C-alpha cells in the first residue's frame, strides 16, 4: 500500500523532533499503523537543517504554509507552528480541503477548538491534539478512552513544565527566578511568550481542554480562573514546608454540586502525595474517576522528542482510522458532539477550597483574637496556626493560618476585613490548599 503523505507546518523544536521520530522509528511505526508514513511537503519560515535528524527524507520544504494545506497530495497536515494566527486559518483551510489534522497547539484548541471540531465533523475529518496537553504523556487518550467507563470527579495536574522547573529550582537550589527561566528557554521548554508559562495562561489552555474531556462541556478558556507563580515568595515556600506542604502550580477541574470548577493557581499540597514530588520540567496529572479511583500519569511535558512522541502517536491513530466511518470515530471532546452539556463553569468566588494565609501582624495582645473573630463571623474554621518570632528590631510577625474548606467569596470578605483591621499591616497573602486525597 502507498505510504500516507504528511504535510508538516513548522520545523522548530517539536517539528524537528517529529521528523526525527518518524525517521528513526519508521519501521516500527509502519508496523503499528499498517502503512508507511512519509513527510512529502513541509513549510517553515526559518529552521536549522543541520540540527534535524532525518530532514533529508522530506521531499519539498518551502516557507509557504498555505501551499502545504492546499497540496492535493497531502493526506494529513501536522500543525506545529503554534499561536492563534495563522495556525487557525491554516487548520481551517486544511479541513476545508478534506485533510485530517494533527496539532500540538493548545492555545488554538482551547480558544478555537469548538469551531474547528464543528468544521471537522461537517467535513468528516479528524483533528487530533494529544501533544497539546502535558507533552509526551498520553493524557488525552487516557481521559477520553481509557477512563470512558467513569464519571470523572476531578483532575489536578502539573501541566506546565517551565513553571514546575522554576518552582523546583528555586526551592531546591535557591536559584533566581530569571536565571531558571532563561535556562528553560534555552532548553526549548518555555513558550515564545514566557509570561504564558509563569502567569498560568499555558496551563489554563491545557486545563480548558482537560475540563471539556472530563465533563463533556464545550471549551471555555475565558471562564478558566488563572493565577501565576510570579508572586510566590521564598518565605511562603519555607512556611509551607514546615507545615508539611509543597507549593505546586496546579490546574484543577472539579465537578461541584452547582457547576464545574476550572482553575489554575499555586496550590499547597501535602508533601507525601506522589504528585508533590514531581519536580523539574516533568508533568503529572492526577485523575479521579468514580469507578477506578485516583490514577496518576507522569512524564515529560515538553521538549522535542517527548512532544513528538505524542504528535506521531496521533498520526498513527489517524492512519488507522482513515477508512472508518466518521460517526464511529472517537469524538473530539470524548462525548458525542450532541451530548455536550451547558453545565456552568463556576466563577472563582463560588469555588470551595482550603487556604493558607500569611498575615503580617503587630506583636501585641488582641490581634490574633480579632483575626480569629473575623474568620469565625465569616464561617471559616481554622485548621492550624503558626506564629513566628519577630525578627530583631521588628514590631511585626508573620502569622500563618491554615483553614478548612470554605467558599472563596467568604474568604474574600474575611481577607478584606483582616486587612482593614488594627494591628495588621500590608496585604494578606492567600494561597489555596488541596489535599488531593482519593
Ligand atoms: N511551555 C510549555 C511548558 C511547553 O513549559 O510546559 C509544553 O506545552
Domains in the chain with CATH codes = 4-136+304-339 (3.40.50.720), 139-300 (3.30.360.10), 352-433 (3.30.70.260)
The active-site residue, picked from 5, 99, 141, 206, is 206
Which atom of ligand 1 is closest in space to residue 190's alpha carbon?
1
pLDDT given at position 192: 84
Q: Which of 202, 207, 228, 283 to mutate to test the pocket of ligand 1 (most atoms within 8 A of CB)?
A: 202
Q: Is 190 in the pocket of ligand 1 (CB under 6 A)?
A: yes
Q: Which of 136, 166, 191, 193 to mutate to test the pocket of ligand 1 (most atoms within 8 A of CB)?
A: 191
pLDDT given at position 74: 98
Q: Which residue has the cell 511562603?
A: 236
Which atom of ligand 1 is closest in space to residue 106's alpha carbon?
8
pLDDT given at position 76: 98
Contact, 354 vs 382, CB < 8 A? no
Which atom of ligand 1 is closest in space to residue 104's alpha carbon?
8
pLDDT given at position 91: 98
Q: Is 317 in the pocket of ligand 1 (CB under 6 A)?
A: no
Q: What is the pLDDT along the chain (438 residues), one digit of tens a residue?
A: 899 999 999 999 999 999 999 999 999 999 999 999 999 999 999 999 999 999 999 999 999 999 999 999 999 999 999 999 999 999 999 999 999 999 999 999 999 999 999 999 999 999 999 999 999 999 999 999 999 999 999 999 999 999 999 999 888 888 887 888 888 888 888 888 889 999 999 999 999 999 999 999 999 999 999 999 988 888 899 999 999 999 999 999 999 999 999 999 999 999 999 999 999 989 999 999 999 999 999 999 999 999 999 999 999 999 999 999 999 999 999 999 999 999 999 999 999 999 999 999 998 889 999 999 999 999 999 999 998 777 778 889 999 999 999 999 999 999 999 999 999 999 999 999 999 987
pLDDT given at position 387: 87
Model-level pTM? Answer: 0.96
Q: Is 130 in the pocket of ligand 1 (CB under 6 A)?
A: no
Which atom of ligand 1 is closest in space to residue 160's alpha carbon?
6
pLDDT given at position 128: 98
pLDDT given at position 170: 81
Q: Is 6 in the pocket of ligand 1 (CB under 6 A)?
A: no
Q: How far is the CA of 139 from the centre of ligand 1 (A)?
A: 15
Q: Is 199 in the pocket of ligand 1 (CB under 6 A)?
A: no
Q: Which of 163, 283, 301 to mutate to test the pocket of ligand 1 (most atoms within 8 A of CB)?
A: 301
Q: How far is the CA of 301 from the centre of ligand 1 (A)?
A: 6
pLDDT given at position 242: 94
pLDDT given at position 412: 98
Q: How far is the CA of 250 from the centre of ligand 1 (A)?
A: 14
Q: How far is the CA of 437 from the centre of ligand 1 (A)?
A: 26
3-state secondary structure the chain: CCCEEEEEECCCHHHHHHHHHHHHCHHHHHHHHCCCEEEEEEECCCCCHHHCCCHHHCCEEECCHHHHHCCCCCCEEEECCCCCCCHHHHHHHHHHCCCEEEECCHHHHHHHHHHHHHHHHHHCCCEECHHHCCCCCCHHHHHHHHCCCCCEEEEEEECCHHHHHHHHHHHHHCCCHHHHHHHHHHCCCCCCCCHHHHCCHHHHHHHHHHHHHHHCCCCCHHHCEECCCCCCCHHHHHHHHHCCEEEEEEEEEEEECCEEEEEEEEEEEECCCHHHHCCCCEEEEEEEECCCEEEEEEEECCCHHHHHHHHHHHHHHHHHCCCCCHHHCCCCCCCCHHHCCCCCECCHHHCEEEEEEEEEEECCCCHHHHHHHHHHHCCCCEEEEEECCCCCCCCEEEEEEEECCEEHHHHHHHHHHHHHCCCEEEEEEEEEECCCCC
Q: Is 301 in the pocket of ligand 1 (CB under 6 A)?
A: yes
Whose Cα sits closest to atom 7 in ligand 1? Answer: 302
Q: Is 161 in the pocket of ligand 1 (CB under 6 A)?
A: yes
Is 5 a known active-site residue? no
Q: How far is the CA of 135 from the centre of ligand 1 (A)?
A: 7
Q: How far is the CA of 347 from the centre of ligand 1 (A)?
A: 26
Q: How far is the CA of 198 from the centre of ligand 1 (A)?
A: 10
Q: Which of 162, 209, 300 to mutate to test the pocket of ligand 1 (most atoms within 8 A of CB)?
A: 162
Amino acid at each position: 500500500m502507498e505510504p500516507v503523505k504528511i504535510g508538516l507546518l513548522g520545523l522548530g523544536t517539536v517539528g524537528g523532533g517529529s521528523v526525527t521520530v518518524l525517521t528513526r522509528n519508521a519501521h516500527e511505526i509502519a508496523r503499528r499503523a499498517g502503512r508507511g508514513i512519509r513527510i512529502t511537503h513541509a513549510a517553515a519560515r526559518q529552521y536549522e537543517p543541520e540540527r534535524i535528524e532525518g530532514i533529508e527524507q522530506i521531499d519539498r520544504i518551502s516557507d509557504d504554509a498555505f501551499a502545504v494545506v492546499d497540496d492535493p497530495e497531502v493526506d494529513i497536515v501536522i500543525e506545529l507552528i503554534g499561536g492563534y494566527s495563522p495556525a487557525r486559518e491554516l487548520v481551517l483551510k486544511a479541513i476545508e480541503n478534506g485533510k485530517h489534522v494533527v496539532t500540538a497547539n493548545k492555545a488554538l484548541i482551547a480558544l478555537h477548538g469548538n469551531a474547528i471540531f464543528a468544521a471537522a465533523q461537517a467535513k468528516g475529518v479528524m483533528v487530533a491534539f494529544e501533544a497539546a496537553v502535558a507533552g509526551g504523556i498520553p493524557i488525552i487518550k487516557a481521559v477520553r478512552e481509557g477512563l470512558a467507563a467513569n464519571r470523572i470527579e476531578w483532575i489536578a495536574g502539573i501541566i506546565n513544565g517551565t513553571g514546575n522547573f522554576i518552582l523546583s529550582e528555586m526551592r531546591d537550589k535557591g536559584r533566581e527566578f530569571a536565571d531558571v527561566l532563561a535556562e528553560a528557554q534555552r532548553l526549548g521548554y518555555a513558550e515564545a511568550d514566557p509570561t504564558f508559562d509563569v502567569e498560568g495562561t499555558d496551563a489554563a489552555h491545557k486545563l480548558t481542554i482537560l475540563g471539556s474531556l472530563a465533563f463533556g462541556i464545550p471549551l471555555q478558556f475565558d471562564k478558566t480562573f488563572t493565577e501565576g507563580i510570579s508572586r510566590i515568595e521564598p518565605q511562603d515556600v519555607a512556611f509551607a514546608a514546615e507545615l508539611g506542604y509543597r507549593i505546586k502550580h496546579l490546574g484543577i477541574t472539579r465537578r461541584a454540586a452547582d457547576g464545574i470548577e476550572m482553575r489554575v493557581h499555586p496550590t499547597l499540597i501535602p508533601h507525601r502525595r506522589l504528585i508533590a514530588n514531581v519536580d523539574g520540567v516533568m508533568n503529572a496529572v492526577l485523575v479521579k474517576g468514580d469507578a477506578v479511583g485516583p490514577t496518576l500519569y507522569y512524564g515529560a511535558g515538553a521538549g522535542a522528542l517527548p512532544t513528538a512522541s505524542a504528535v506521531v502517536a496521533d498520526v498513527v491513530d489517524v492512519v488507522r482510522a482513515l477508512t472508518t466511518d466518521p460517526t464511529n470515530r472517537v469524538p473530539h471532546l470524548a462525548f458525542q458532539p450532541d451530548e455536550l452539556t451547558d453545565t456552568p463553569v463556576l466563577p472563582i468566588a463560588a469555588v470551595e477550597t482550603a487556604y493558607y494565609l500569611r498575615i503580617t501582624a503587630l506583636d501585641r495582645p488582641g490581634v490574633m483574637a480579632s483575626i480569629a473573630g473575623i474568620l469565625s463571623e465569616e464561617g471559616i474554621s481554622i485548621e492550624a496556626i503558626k506564629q513566628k518570632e519577630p525578627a530583631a528590631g521588628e514590631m511585626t510577625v508573620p502569622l500563618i493560618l491554615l483553614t478548612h474548606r470554605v467558599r472563596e467569596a467568604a474568604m474574600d470578605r474575611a481577607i478584606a476585613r483582616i486587612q482593614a483591621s488594627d494591628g495588621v499591616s500590608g496585604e494578606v497573602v492567600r494561597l489555596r490548599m488541596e489535599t488531593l486525597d482519593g
